[in-house]
Structure 1
Amino acid sequence: MDINNIRELVKLFKEEGLTRLKVEDGDVKIHIEESAGETAVMPKEQSTESDGAGGSSSDSGLTEIKAPQVGTFYLQKEEGSDENFVNPGDRVEAGDQIGIIEAMKVFNDVTTEHAGVIEEVRVENGDSVEYDQVLMTLREEGE
């Protein structure tokens, strides 16, 4: 991997509004992470939950948190860790990270747009997920 490849990775990181990027190429490992003081701007098509037409809310008062892209979903905070981002019964705020989706060695944080309590986690750590697949259900506050 040469400096031009690294520049392209940094460009991709900025253009896509990513918060974390890990790349391995042979013996070279690159990890780029946004500092805590900055805010990531996610394009609308990468929203973690459907709004309107997708029917994210049902009559049962639950909101579905859906995969913003195809990839491998990680529920655990770190590889080999027993600590998950969230578990059923956990209270979350809008913007809280609930997992990571890896696609083509690019890691994207998955966040929730609503505050509430995680009712059900429908995927396991390391599962392959499809675009718009339900990852979790959330009972919004006030429901």
Structure 2
Amino acid sequence: MEIEKIRELIKLAKEEDLKVLRVGDMDTEVHIETKGGRDTVVTEHSGKNKASADGGQDGLHTVKATQVGTFYTHKEENSTENFVEAGDTVSSGDQIGMIEAMKVFNDVLADAGGVVEEILVGNGETVEYDQPLVMLRPKED
């Protein structure tokens, strides 16, 4: 998306006193949040369905954050039980955590099978879009 179009969206959000404006198409999503018509935050995601990428480090696979928010490794608020621990075997589609954004909890799913080598983010830490969360060693067939 062109920067001029993003500037127009920011201006629109301020003029209409919108708290949140989200616009997207097949490849790009722009999320704008304002606080009382000032302080604007813009997040642009290209290829928003991309959940992870190969880490390249010793053949490890990196599961990355699909959005900005607070990452939770614990299954419940007052629990110490994690979704996964280092050494656990996961399959594609298994839940490995949650990201909370604007009071909405979104599951973080493994997009590949393997053994959890390392959890890179602690429970309750803020994460950025595309930030590495978990390193997996792919299963050898």
Taking structure 2 as the reference length, the TM-score comes to 0.64
Secondary structure at 1:45's aligned position in 2? coil
Structure (1 or 2) with the greater strand fraction: 2
How many pairs align?
95
| Larger RCO of the pair (alpha carbons < 8 Å, separation 6+) | 1
Write out the 4+ residue segments of structure 1 that deviate beyond 3 Å after TM superposition.
none
For residue 94 of structure 1, the aligned residue among 71, 83, 92 is: 92
User: Where does residue 103 of structure 2 map in the other structure?
Assistant: 105
User: How far 1:46 sits from its partner (Å)?
Assistant: 4.1
1:6-45 aligned within 5 A: 45=48
Q: Is the 8 Å Cα contact of residues 89 and 119 (structure 1) preserved in structure 2?
A: yes
1:54-83 residue CA offsets vs partner (Å, 9 max, x unmatched)? xx2315110011000000000000001011
**What is the distance in 1 between the residues matched to 2:82 and 2:50?**
21
User: Where does residue 60 of structure 2 map in the other structure?
Assistant: 62
Q: Cα RMSD between the aligned structures?
A: 1.5
1:86-115 residue CA offsets vs partner (Å, 9 max, x unmatched)? 010000000000000000011100001111
Structure 2 unmatched ranges of 5 or more: 1-46
**What is the distance in 2 between the residues matched to 1:83 and 1:57?**
27
Structure 1 unmatched ranges of 5 or more: 1-43, 51-55
**What is the distance in 2 between the residues matched to 1:115 and 1:108?**
20
Matched, 1:135 2:133: yes
Q: Is the 8 Å Cα contact of residues 67 and 131 (structure 1) preserved in structure 2?
A: yes
Taking structure 1 as the reference length, the TM-score comes to 0.63
**What is the distance in 2 between the residues matched to 1:75 and 1:117?**
16
User: Where does residue 78 of structure 2 map in the other structure?
Assistant: 80
1:111-143 residue CA offsets vs partner (Å, 9 max, x unmatched)? 011110000011100000000101010000018
